[in-house]
A and B are shown apart, each in its own frame.
Chain A
Amino acid sequence: MSATAARAAAPARRGARFDPRGLVLPLLALIVWQLWALTLPHDSPAPSPARVIATFIELVRSGDLPSALAMSLGRVIAGFATGLATGVTVGVLMGAFRPVRRVLEPIIESFRPVAPMAILPIAILWFGTGTPAAVSIVGYAAFFPLLVNTVHGVSRVDRKLVQAARTMGVSRPRILAKVVLPAAMPSIMLGARLGMSVAWTAIIAAELAVGSKSGGGNSGGIGSMMFVFYAYSVDLNGIVVCMIVVGVVALLIDQLFRAAEARLLPWRQ
């Protein structure tokens, strides 16, 4: 009942907020950009809105863009799943058992400022320049938001709820599964959303960097595609197409996770 309410609320709010004034700036930018592009000589590599659209259609038709996108998404999903499994497991252990937390926290905290990109050279050393390196970086990036939010959620579970379950003769493992985990779910879902968003950023970075540093080997994926456009075919329109695709995918991922939250957590006020 509240599930439908929650699902209905979000689009309604967004619909009500639509305001044509918001389009002024983007449209103006597009027009200025197109006019500027028209003043350039015909063989200039500079991108223009018209050519970006043409390139987009061409890339979709040739199947290059869909296959690169599928490659990147596959890697993100694999890496995210790794980060999800490890982050939530370690997070639950740290949140539920103080000694675990006390021992692991200093180490986790000192790895947190190590950017995923700083791990890239190590990942290349360990896994080469293919998919495993990319997946491990994505997993590393997704791990921290998931871990931190899981720990937060689990350690904040209302003690009374755990006590109530104990007075009903519920076993420890079952309390973890049936009380602690559901109670921490809003935090975990938030961690998943944040984790997925950094994972998507990380895969682009990883593919871009692998493309740029591994002697030009095309490792596939949309980041790699961007690098090929930059370094070999000098196709700025292609680069802009990729940028837009990256942004749209990020937006869709975010919306997907928000919808999942509303659906899976109908009990939140």
Chain B
Amino acid sequence: MQAVENAKLRLKDVTKTFIAPRTLKPTVAVSDVTLDIMRGEFVCIVGPSGCGKSTVLNMIAGLEAPSDGTIFMDDRPISGPSAERGVMFQDYALFPWLTVQDNIGFGLRNGTPGHSLSAGEIKDRIEAHIDLVRLRGSEAKYPHQLSGGMRQRVALARLLANGPDVLLMDEPLGALDAQTRLILQSELLRIWGETSPTAQRKTAIFITHDIEEAVFLADRVVVMSRHPGRVRALLDIDLPRPRNEHVRTTQRFGELSEEIWQLIRDEALEAIA
């Protein structure tokens, strides 16, 4: 129906039911999600804890199979993980036995992203990404020697270093202090390709709990609701790009944030009640 030609990712009636191993009790984590994500689009997913955001992301990554429905990328069904879709996990999933630089270089050295690169090019790419996330000086440290925010930046650098087409990020900035967070939001937009024409941008899916972060980053915000996890609303963020800090003070920014807040407020209150 819609402009299907430009859809990078298509979720079609996607449902995910988890079956508890012993009791065989089913939990519907995600129910009937249908969503088209355009090539070069930046989509943020917000919603209360446990509404199935991570599950949707894992299915797009190919790490979980939908119990029902199909996910297409470039009109081909996704049948497993691939380096075209890079994932930044909610708990980082850093390799504890590798230093910062080796974590960042893991995919380049062992996976498909590095196949066409020489050792020197790989090295340069690692160095560039250490600088990008401002971890110069800590590149030889092990994950257990880093703070939560530093670990998160390593995970982000590892994702970006692999140069995936689609960026799947699960609360990637959640553990950062407010200042670093703002800096990295802008940085992320630059890496995604905000200043380039849409055709050259990557496709990004970004989960966050922070409504203003979603509004600042996204072309479109997906608001999810719980029990079962469904898409409750889709909002177009019509703020002009490229965006800078100034956009946060505009009236439109406030209106959009308020609208999203209204949508998830009841459930958020319910969740803590």
A and B touch in the complex (CB under 8 A): yes
- Residues of A near any B CB (own CB < 8 A): 1-2, 158, 160-161, 163-170, 174, 178-179, 182-183, 185, 265-269
Q: How far is the CA of A2 from the CA of B141 in the complex (A)?
A: 8
Determine the chain A residues whose CB is within 8 A of the CB of B162 once the complex forms: 168
- Residues of B near any A CB (own CB < 8 A): 61-63, 80-83, 85-87, 89, 91, 93, 95-98, 106-107, 110-113, 140-145, 162, 168
Please state if B91 and A160 are interface contacts (CB–CB under 8 Å): yes
27 A-B contacts (beta carbon < 8 Å): A2-B145, A158-B93, A163-B63, A164-B89, A164-B93, A165-B106, A166-B81, A167-B83, A167-B86, A168-B111, A169-B82, A169-B107, A169-B111, A169-B112, A169-B113, A170-B107, A170-B110, A170-B112, A182-B97, A183-B96, A183-B97, A265-B97, A266-B142, A267-B98, A267-B142, A267-B143, A269-B144
Q: How far is the CA of A269 from the CA of B143 in the complex (A)?
A: 10
Q: How far is the CA of A182 from the CA of B103 in the complex (A)?
A: 13
Please state if A166 and B107 are interface contacts (CB–CB under 8 Å): no
User: From residue A170, how far is it (CB to closest CB) to chain B in Å?
Assistant: 4
Other-chain contact of B63, A166, A179, A182, A183 (Cβ < 8 Å): A166
Determine the chain A residues whose CB is within 8 A of the CB of B107 once the complex forms: 165, 168-170
User: From residue A118, how far is it (CB to closest CB) to chain B in Å?
Assistant: 38
Please state if B113 and A2 are interface contacts (CB–CB under 8 Å): no
Residue of A nearest to B82 (CB): A169
A163-B81, A170-B107, A182-B95 known; A267-B144 Cβ under 8 A: yes
Other-chain contact of A167, B87, B140, B141, B143 (Cβ < 8 Å): B87
Please state if A1 and B97 are interface contacts (CB–CB under 8 Å): no
Please state if B141 and A1 are interface contacts (CB–CB under 8 Å): yes
Looking at B82, B110, B144, the one whose CB has the most chain A CB atoms below 10 A away is B110
A2-B145, A160-B89, A267-B142 known; A165-B96 Cβ under 8 A: no
Determine the chain B residues whose CB is within 8 A of the CB of A267 once the complex forms: 96-98, 142-144
Looking at B63, B111, B162, the one whose CB has the most chain A CB atoms below 10 A away is B111
Q: How far is the CA of A179 from the CA of B94 in the complex (A)?
A: 11
User: From residue B46, how far is it (CB to closest CB) to chain A in Å?
Assistant: 23
Please state if A169 and B89 are interface contacts (CB–CB under 8 Å): no
Q: How far is the CA of A53 from the CA of B141 in the complex (A)?
A: 50
Please state if A167 and B142 are interface contacts (CB–CB under 8 Å): no
